[in-house]
Amino acid sequence: MTIILNSKGFKLPRLEREKFINLMHLGLDYNRNTMMFSINSYNNIEKVIDELSIILGDDIVFHQSCVRCGKAFPCKGCNYIDVCTTKNLPFSCVCSQCLRDRKQFEEYLTKL
Q: What are the residues binding other proteins (CB under 8 A)?
A: 39, 41-43, 67-68, 78-80, 83-86, 89-96, 98-100, 105-106, 109
Q: Which is nearer to other proteins, 15 or 101 (CB)?
A: 101
Q: Which is nearer to other proteins, 15 or 78 (CB)?
A: 78
Q: Which is nearer to other proteins, 19 or 47 (CB)?
A: 47
As measured in angstroms, the least distance from the Cβ of 3 to other proteins is: 21
As measured in angstroms, the least distance from the Cβ of 17 to other proteins is: 24
Question: 3-state SS string over the chain?
Answer: CEEEECCCCECCCCCCHHHHHHHHHHCEEEECCCCEEEECCCCCHHHHHHHHHHHHCCEEEECEEECCCCCEECCCCCCCCCCCCCCCCCCEECCHHHHHCHHHHHHHHHHC
As measured in angstroms, the least distance from the Cβ of 16 to other proteins is: 27
Q: Which is nearer to other proteins, 58 or 71 (CB)?
A: 71
As measured in angstroms, the least distance from the Cβ of 61 to other proteins is: 15
Between the alpha carbon of residue 49 and those of residues 22, 62, 76, the distances in Å are 12, 9, 17
